[in-house]
C-alpha cells in the first residue's frame, strides 16, 4: 500500500488537531475552572466578610477557564512554520514520510509512533515520540484509501478497532 497526499498550507489544521489532541485536558480545565469560580462566588455570598480565599478561588477558576485557549495558541505558534508551506505526505506499510518545501524529508516509522487517530474533521493525527502531534489531512482520500489507512493503523495497534456493538455519542444514527 502506498498513499500520497499533497496538502496546501492551512493554519487551521494545527488548531483543529490541537483541539482534538487536547480535548480531555481542555474539558478538565473548563470543569475545574467553573467549579472553582462557583465555589469562590458561593463562599463570598454566604460569608459576612469576603476573605482572600474567595478571591484566590475565583482568580484560579478564571485562569483555568482561560488556560485551554492559551494551550491552543501555544500549539499554533509551535506549528506555524510547518503549516505555512505545502507538504506531501507519503504513507506506506512501513512509515509516514513528510516532505516540505525548503526542508529535509522526515520519516516516521510506524514502530516509533505512540498512537494515531482519525478525527471527524478528516485529519489523521499522529503522536510521534518527542513531539506533540502531526496532523495529516485525509479529506482528499477516497473511501478505499481511507479503509486501507484505517486497516494499516489497526494492524499496527495505533488506533482502537471500531466496535459495532458499542454505541457512542459520536454515532449520528440512532439505534
Integer CA distances (angstroms), 141 to 28, 94, 158, in order: 34, 19, 19
Quickly state the pLDDT bin for 19 (edges 50, 70, 90): confident
Q: Computed from CA positions of residues 61, 62, 65, 67, in that sequence, does the dihedral angle turn out positive or negative? A: negative
Question: How confident is the prediction for the chain on average, in pLDDT?
Answer: 83
**pTM exceeds 0.75:** no
Q: Residue 175: what pLDDT? A: 44
Q: Which residue has the cell 489544521?
A: 13
State the pLDDT at residue 167: 56
pLDDT, position 73: 81
pLDDT above 80 (res 83): no
Interval 126-150 mean pLDDT: 85
The pLDDT value recorded for residue 47 is 87
State the pLDDT at residue 106. Answer: 86
pLDDT given for residue 162 in this prediction? 56
User: In the predicted model, is pLDDT for residue 57 greater than 70?
Assistant: yes
Q: Which residues contact 115 (CB under 8 A, 6 or more apart)?
A: 126, 127, 158, 159
Amino acid at each position: 500500500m502506498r498513499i500520497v497526499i499533497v496538502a496546501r498550507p492551512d493554519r487551521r489544521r494545527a488548531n483543529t488537531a490541537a483541539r482534538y489532541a487536547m480535548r480531555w485536558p481542555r474539558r478538565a480545565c473548563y470543569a475545574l475552572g467553573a467549579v472553582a469560580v462557583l465555589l469562590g462566588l458561593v463562599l463570598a455570598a454566604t460569608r459576612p466578610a469576603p476573605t482572600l480565599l474567595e478571591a484566590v478561588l475565583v482568580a484560579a477558576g478564571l485562569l483555568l477557564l482561560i488556560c485551554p485557549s492559551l494551550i491552543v495558541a501555544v500549539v499554533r505558534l509551535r506549528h506555524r512554520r510547518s503549516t505555512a508551506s505545502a507538504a506531501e505526505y507519503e504513507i506506506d506499510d512501513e512509515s509516514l514520510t513528510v516532505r516540505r518545501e525548503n526542508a529535509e524529508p522526515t520519516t516516521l516509522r510506524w514502530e516509533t509512533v505512540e498512537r494515531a487517530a482519525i478525527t471527524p474533521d478528516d485529519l489523521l493525527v499522529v503522536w510521534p515520540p518527542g513531539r506533540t502531534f502531526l496532523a495529516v489531512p485525509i479529506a482528499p482520500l477516497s473511501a478505499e484509501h481511507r479503509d486501507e489507512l484505517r486497516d494499516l493503523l489497526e494492524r499496527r495497534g495505533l488506533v482502537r478497532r471500531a466496535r459495532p456493538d458499542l454505541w457512542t455519542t459520536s454515532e449520528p444514527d440512532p439505534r
